[in-house]
Amino acid sequence: MSSLVKTHPAATQALLAKLGPAKVLTDEATCFAASFDNMRLSFMPEAVIRPGVEDDIGIVLKLANEYRIPVTVRGRGTGNTGASSPIQGGWVIHLDHWDKIEIDPISAMATVQPGAITARINELAAPHGLFFPPDPSSLKYCSIGGNIATNAGGLRAAKYGVVRDHVYALEGFLPTGEKVRWAAPLRKFVSGLNIRDLWIGSEGTLGVITQATLKLVNKPAARRTFLIACRTDEGALEAAAELMGLRVNPAVFEFLDTQTVEAAEKQRGSRVFTASELKGLADTHAILLVEIDGHPAALAEDAIKIRAWIGRHAIAFRETDVEAEAEALWDIRRTCSQAMYSLGNAKLNEDIVVPFRSYVELIRYTREVRDRIGLATPTFGHAADGNFHVHIMYDRDNPEHCRKAEKAIHEVMTKVVELGGAITGEHGIGIAKSPFLRLQHTPAEIGAMIAVKKALDPNGILAPGQIFDPLNVWEHRPVKVTLPWDKH
């Protein structure tokens, strides 16, 4: 248990008296399960609240203000930054059972409760020829509430944008316990200040989302997938920038560096491209995965441009418009995250963003770090928007590795900001990146953010310590647990 944790028995007794033991759970197993996310740093709460009706949330927040209890909102705990970990103890509001989804096919909107699993929204939208484009790799496990609170991105952000681009309206509770609605289930709404967009990406610090109206889009009629081998990382990234200039608007555009491809091939026990496909042109190579979607006639035109581009940059490629074959091309991308563990038993998984002009410099820098500290730095991610997952693989039980990884990640973040980039493009700050916030923002910018937080949450009860208070995560040992997505 962290030294930050405070206990509030009188307040929890008052809460139990108001909501009853079925909604206020204090047993160790429930509290432990709500004490960490995918970052696996455990901070025990004192109680986990599973609200039955909306009014319950107002009651919890009002009591929390009265007794000054830290409150953390939890979706499905897939976050990578510790943002749903109750780092100061107190209460967790757990909303995974609030999972209703209603599709309005005429308006092309979905009205969802925050605990709804993201993939489920698409399952229900598909029969209407619609889909919700944001598709984080965790979409079978994460909740839409968590997606909105982190402004999650996904593989299809290349063409369709991130969660923020698909939220019409939000409902929920202010930290002080009053019910609010931001915007409305309408395609246009400009009345008043746009606090809806302030809530999106605020990582549970500004309010509790209880309902969202989402924008759905037409499901594309067809897709065509290309898997491309480039001789070097630099070659692949230069090719990526060129493709973006050809205006083909890929729906998916992923880059896997040579370290990533080697790790994935080691895990699969086979090469992605056969020796005859590679024609002896390279022992190692980077990969680009490109997918275009839309009307078949438009795809045919774009495919011509893409094949000509491939001709200029690739040493091997495969292409398909057959669904089952496309899945085979995706296999390397889907397995590369877990494959990293062949390079170390722990990973730092950053989600930095750099501008096109800095792609090559970034990848060179990751290799320079690898050569200097002797830890693998596999890098893959979204080539259409510069949002790359830079990893540092290390051994968590080796103090020398931990020291090197801690120093190196600080250097990588400093470099990213120097390159005109962002320290996070989709996971958010939470506690993981709180030590780097001041690299990205000036004191005036952080001061403005804290002023907003104080205005909405005067007693600082919602997610205290998150984002703004630098926390040295290296002082905490991750818990050893197997989570549902670990095998995927």
Q: Rule CB under 6 A: which residues touch ligand FAD?
A: 37-38, 72-80, 83-84, 95, 114, 136-138, 142-143, 145-147, 149-150, 152-154, 203-204, 208-209, 426-427, 463, 485
Q: Nearest Cα to 110, choosing from 122, 96, 119?
A: 122
Single-letter code of the amino acid located at 348: L
Would you say 58 or 114 has its CB closer to ligand FAD? Answer: 114
Listed in sequence order, the residues at least 6 apart from 400 whose beta carbon sits closer than 8 Å to its beta carbon are none
Chain residue at closest Cβ approach to ligand FAD: 146
Closest CA to 115 of 149, 155, 161: 149
Residue 95 vs 329, nearer CB to ligand FAD: 95
Q: How near is the Cβ of 296 to ligand FAD at its closest, in Å?
A: 28
Q: Are 357 and 418 in contact (CB under 8 A)?
A: no
Half-sphere exposure for 320 (CA within 13 Å, toward CB):
12
Q: Is the dihedral of CA 229, 368, 359, 348 positive or negative?
A: positive
Which CB, 77 or 421, lies closer to ligand FAD? 77
Q: In the complex, what is the shortest distance from the CB of residue 401 to ligand FAD, in angstroms, rounded to a whole number?
A: 22
> In the complex, what is the shortest distance from the CB of residue 54 to ligand FAD, in angstroms, rounded to a whole number?
12
Q: Nearest approach, Cβ of 333 to ligand FAD (angstroms)?
A: 11
By beta-carbon proximity to ligand FAD, the closer residue of 85 and 259 is 85
Lookup: tokens for 454: 């104080």
Instruction: Determine the 3-state secondary structure of 292 from DSSP.
Output: strand
Residue 409 CB, nearest approach to ligand FAD (Å): 18
Q: Which is nearer to ligand FAD, 214 or 360 (CB)?
A: 214
- Minimal distance, residue 400 CB to ligand FAD, in Å: 28
Sign of torsion over alpha carbons 457, 3, 467, 179: negative
> Could you tell me the smallest distance in angstroms from the CB atom of residue 339 to ligand FAD?
13
- Identity of the residue, 112 or 316, whose beta carbon is nearer to ligand FAD in the bound complex: 112
- Residue pair 366/434 in contact (Cβ under 8 Å)? The answer is no
Which is closer to ligand FAD, CB of 210 or CB of 258? 210
Contact partners, residue 109, CB within 8 Å, separation at least 6 = 103, 168, 185, 213, 214, 215, 216
Q: Which two tokens stand for residue 11?
A: 């307040």
Residue type, 187: R
